[in-house]
Amino acid sequence: MKTVRQFAAIIGFSLVSTAGFAQTNISIATAYQDTNFHTQNIAQFAAEVEEMTDGEVTFTLHTGASLLKMPEIMRGVQTGQVQAGEILLSAYGQESPFFEVDGIPFLSQGQKTAWQVYELTLPYIEARLEEKGLMPLFAVPWPGQGLYAQKEITAASDYEGVKFRAYNALTARFAELMGAVPTTVQSAEVPQAFATGVVSAMITSAATGNYTKAWDFTSHYYDVNAMNNKNMVIMNADAFNGLSEEHQDAVLAAAAKAEARGWIMSNAVQSELTANLSANGMTVAQPNDELMVELEAIGGTMVEEWLVKAGDEGAAFYEAYQALD
């Protein structure tokens, strides 16, 4: 029995016989805390799956990187260490340029364009995931990204030489183009990184600013609304295919509801959490014209660099993107 339980814990997917049915328990890993709106949305998704299947399918949520750290989650789902997980899609740009496209500054900007970019890129993302034995369940964007600093910022040059927190290759490149020095720091490690001087500035959403209590280590927030990176909940395809058709339908129906709900939640928290930064003593401001011109020019450079990596498929996507209203 001990060996069976150890095996079940390792693969995160178990069948438990009960009086009336076989219960399927699926482990799902996320790097974010319980207070995060993404996590709350996933928890509701799990509850709805359980309700829709009369308890025959349950998702056990492991939060706060307690099971796997963010960079480990895709591989963990692929190998069956867990059956599902939440990833910051743009953190996997080395897997495919289409995973990181929504992290290009001022390309995926605001809910409307974020959704348009999602629709245009989803077929490419699905194809790349399928090659890895994975499938997407749903994706939800972060609120627009803003700049955090320990001083007033009037131009990109104010970040020259500043240690800048990056969370993927694109934010690292963004920092470099401003003359800053990027250091990769995961969300859960942000307060410690600032406290120890590893970084002193960052670009992230007002949501992350609240979850990490950015007012404890930065003084200024500039609401540049640079991009809307997406988190995506993925599942091991074999694990999904191992469910009955009825249970598959329930998971997909709950996922569709979670996606629609998550986009609404993201939009709702942006203004609320931005105001909360101010309420906790931070200077919250719009960037001046000079800074915005410089940042948008950096975004244009990053689009050009992305197109080189993305090849013909990237060019086809960008042509369709430019034709949007």
Q: Which homologous superfamily does the CATH classification assign to the domain defined by 145-227+276-322?
A: Bacterial extracellular solute-binding protein, family 7 (3.40.190.170)
Query: Is beta strand 220-222 parallel, antiparallel or unpaired with respect to 145-149?
Result: antiparallel
Are 136 and 125 within 8 A, CB to CB? yes
Which pLDDT score is estimated for 3?
33
- Flag residues of the chain having pLDDT under 70: 1-22
- For the record, the structure tokens of 138 come out as 């749903």
- In order of 74, 195, 271, 275, the CA distances from 279 in angstroms are 37, 22, 12, 6
Interval 109-138: pLDDT, tens: 888 899 999 999 999 999 999 999 999 999
* Same fold across 2-91+114-141+229-274 and 145-227+276-322: yes
Distance separating alpha carbons of residues 150 and 165, to the nearest angstrom: 13
Q: How many helices and strands in the chain, by DSSP H and E?
A: 10, 12
Which pLDDT score is estimated for 14?
43
Which pLDDT score is estimated for 22?
61
Where do the domains of the chain lie?
2-91+114-141+229-274, 145-227+276-322
Which pLDDT score is estimated for 325?
72
Distance separating alpha carbons of residues 97 and 105, to the nearest angstrom: 14
Distance separating alpha carbons of residues 247 and 288, to the nearest angstrom: 52
Question: CA angle at residue 186 from 185 to 189, to 5 degrees?
Answer: 85
Q: How many CA atoms within 13 Å lie on the side-chain side of 265?
A: 19
Backbone angles phi, psi at 85, to 5 degrees: -165, 160
In sign, the C-alpha dihedral spanning 202, 203, 207, 208 is negative
**One-letter amino acid identity for 278?**
S
Dihedral, 79, 84, 88, 92 alpha carbons, nearest 10: 20
Are 24 and 58 within 8 A, CB to CB? yes
- For the record, the structure tokens of 176 come out as 């470099």
In 153-294 the beta strands, taken as DSSP E runs, fall at: 163-166, 181-184, 201-205, 220-222, 230-236, 283-285
Which pLDDT score is estimated for 108?
82
Interval 166-218: pLDDT, tens: 999 999 999 999 999 999 998 889 999 999 999 999 999 999 999 999 999 99
Residue with tokens 């295919």: 241
Which pLDDT score is estimated for 18?
36
Class of domain 2-91+114-141+229-274: alpha beta
